[in-house]
Amino acid sequence: MKITIIGAGNVGASVAYTLILRELISELVLVDINKDLLLARELELSQSIAAFNFDIKITCTSDYKYTKNSQVVIFSAGVARKEGQSRDELFMINSKIMLECAQCIKQYNQDPLFIIVSNPVDFLLNTLYESKLFRSNKIIAMAGVLDNARFKYELSKRLNLKTSEVDTKLIGFHNDSMVLIQSQSKVKNKALDEVLNAQVITQIEHEVKIGGAKVIKHLKTSAYLAPASACVRMIEALKSGEFLPMSVILNGEYGLYGKAFGVMARISLEGVLETLELKLSEHEQLALEKSFIQYNYK
């Protein structure tokens, strides 16, 4: 599989490194405008490939012609979120960068699977959809896998369990209005409300929603290892066909048409294959409707 990553910063480099370790690629192209950074990434990644004796071709470049025939394009360029800065504040800057990069990709790639990792993911996906550069089912955004991992982590930590013993689900935007589907989340095959009281569940929900902000507070930059892992999990799902939470352009699910929203979906190199509309509790439905109103989705 040939994959292009746009943006050689912490997230892009971490995605590249993880793809190499998981042996998911035959060819990797890393695109950036910073030539010194590209040289450093090419040295490190090439030496990593050599250390494991893998047969992977890597190109680090600012020239989009090398992206030709990419099956997957991952967009991780743009400005990272700073402490105290909302995801919405990033939109104006990152949307312009994304569209410029997407137009360059379009010159050499007719219809790749385009995955957005940069924030704010849902609204960048809306912008890419409105540009009509690619088919709606071939553009998706990563965030749900990351948020769900944070949900699983917080639950397993609170209950001192293995993450494999926790099954969580969530939908919605990659921001404070995300909806954790408590009614369909389980701990050791028991319903969540059988194991934890409402107050504790609310505390966990809060920790999930500020998961990214906590990293920024201590690291002084955005998270990159967990987002990269979540993105690579989506690449693995191209073959496994499993349902994962991700932002896609909806076609009537939850009453939305032509809008980006986080749902459970199955993907392949052909794009979004199927979405799963979860049955929600009354509380979850109200939270969903509130998020729609907040972002003028209805």
Which residues lie closer than 8 Å to 208 by C-beta, 6 or more apart? 147, 150, 151, 154, 170, 178, 180
Q: With contact defined as beta carbons under 8 Å apart, do 140 and 116 qualify?
A: yes
SS3 state of residue 26: coil
The pair of structure tokens assigned to 86 is 């909302």
Assess whether 218 carries a catalytic annotation: no
With b for 16 or more beta-carbon neighbours within 10 A and e for fewer, the 236-260 pattern comes to ebbeeeebbbbbbbbeebbebeebb
Q: With contact defined as beta carbons under 8 Å apart, do 122 and 141 qualify?
A: yes
DSSP string for 120-182: SHHHHHHHHHHHTSS-GGGEEE--HHHHHHHHHHHHHHHHT--GGGEE--EES-SSTT-EE-G
Q: Which residue has the tokens 């010159």?
A: 107
Q: Is the dihedral of CA 59, 65, 68, 70 positive or negative?
A: positive
Annotated catalytic residue: which of 174, 206, 218, 283?
174
The torsion angle over the Cα atoms of residues 19, 122, 271 and 16, rounded to 10 degrees, is -10
The pair of structure tokens assigned to 214 is 């906590």
- Would you name the residues annotated as active-site residues? 174
